[in-house]
Amino acid sequence: MKNHFRTVTALSLIIVLFSSFYSMLFSQEMDFESYNPQSTLVVPENPVTRAKYPFVDIHSHQSNVNEELVAKLIREMDELNMATMVNLSGKRFSRNSDNNGAQEYMKAMIQQFNGQAPGRFIVFTNLSFNGFGNKEWKEKAVAELESDVKNGANGLKIYKSLGLNVKDVNGKRVPINHPDLDAIWAKCGELGIPVLIHAADPAPFWEPMDSNNERWLELKLRPNRKRGPDNPAPFEQIIAEQHAVFKKHKNTTFINAHMGWMANDLAKAGEHLDKYPNVNFGIAAVIAEFGRQPRAAKKFFIDYQDRILFGKDAYNKEEFYTYFRVLETEDEYFPYYKKYHAYWRMYGLGLPDEVLKKVYYKNALRIVPNMDKSLFPN
């Protein structure tokens, strides 16, 4: 009986010890998203919640514009020192697919902006590709573009859907350099308005989703962003189509959104600007690339200070703080706000004042018509 009791006790002890070990072992397991240790590094910190100079956000998207929204935006813009917001979604969020309805939607938006906050908002128009491939599409699109500019639009925004999702009346993918679009690019040059164009997605979206892919976490969290090698065309092909437009339409000014996905290769980015003098870079959604190569990025900004425009993309007041801190300070090893964009830490560039002024507002004032220059210093 005593031996049996001892055996049971020993087994119970083993089970308890094993359970404790098992619990301790697996309590140390966590997924990549959860691992976010607090840094023990002690360095000077200079958070920035207000830009050093008034700035233009060349890349914003606003919908359902009404008095309440405009009042909220102006309040936050004043806190950020944002003098002018460029709303690229003139027609994007129109609930009416009819072209006339989309035009009325944009006209009402412009009237609301100008009536409530004169000079603080600039609106870009957008193209409708309904019926693309019909012989009358080109003529109608050009006429609508001219009408939009008369109604107050000051630029054209092209979404990444062109090259990825837009199809003609026969169901074929419409390449960015389709000949039927030549009249649009040329008309923008004649009207003196810039084209802000977003082509493709980051190249890693086309690459294998494995441990070598820097965008693995984003693709895990947003699986619909993953593309096959030819879905709907190779990354390199879509980008080449965009560059062909730049080359062909030298009299039209383009703003290559998200730096054309070249912020991770600044030598290539410099070659791009050297090759296409009618092209400028918008830095929306790529600030994390500069933050991990501060010395190279600072040199790039200085070398190409006349060709870079500040922009943020998805509007979130607090996220601007990271942009300001990267551009203005020389802080070290501070966090980015979206781990799935950048799991690395940021370092400040400490840009010279004259470069900051050009990036923040001077380049935008030169490129975008009808901006209120009185909102900015000389």
Residue 110 placed within a domain: yes
CB 252 within 8 A of CB 188: yes
Q: How many structural domains are present in the chain?
A: 1
Q: For the segment 282-310, what is each residue's pLDDT rounded down to a tens digit?
A: 999 999 999 999 999 999 999 999 999 99
| CA 192 distance to own-chain centroid | 24
Q: Give the model's confidence band at 32: pLDDT under 50 very low, under 70 low, under 90 confident, else very high.
A: confident
pLDDT at 202 over 70: yes
Q: How many helices (H) and strands (E) does the chain have?
A: 14, 8
Q: What is the pLDDT of residue 239?
A: 98
Residue 55: φ, ψ to 5°: -135, 160
Residue 37 placed within a domain: no
d(CA 112, CA 109) in angstroms, rounded, equals 5
Residue 331 placed within a domain: yes
Which range of residues forms the domain containing residue 120? Answer: 42-375
Q: Give the model's confidence band at 37: pLDDT under 50 very low, under 70 low, under 90 confident, else very high.
A: confident
Supply the pTM of this predicted model: 0.92
Could you tell me whether strands 82-87 and 279-282 are parallel, antiparallel, or unpaired per DSSP bridges?
unpaired
Length of the chain: 378
Q: What is the pLDDT of residue 92?
A: 79
Residue 47 placed within a domain: yes
Q: For the segment 135-179, what is each residue's pLDDT rounded down to a tens digit?
A: 999 999 999 999 999 999 999 999 999 999 999 999 999 999 999
Q: For the segment 224-243, what is each residue's pLDDT rounded down to a tens digit?
A: 999 999 999 999 999 999 99
Residue 195 placed within a domain: yes
* 263 Cβ contact partners less than 8 Å away, ≥ 6 residues apart: 269, 283, 286, 289, 290
Taking Cα atoms as reference points, which of 375, 349, 228 lies closest to residue 287? 349
**CATH number, residue 50:** 3.20.20.140
| DSSP symbol at 203 | G
Chain mean pLDDT for the chain: 93
Residue 34 placed within a domain: no
* 232 Cβ contact partners less than 8 Å away, ≥ 6 residues apart: 164, 165, 173
| CA 49 distance to own-chain centroid | 20
Q: For the segment 302-340, what is each residue's pLDDT rounded down to a tens digit?
A: 999 999 999 999 999 999 999 999 999 999 999 999 988
pLDDT at 43 over 60: yes
For the segment 94-104, the average pLDDT, to the nearest whole number, is: 73
Residue 122: φ, ψ to 5°: -120, 140
Residue 256 placed within a domain: yes
pLDDT at 270 over 90: yes
Residue 4 placed within a domain: no
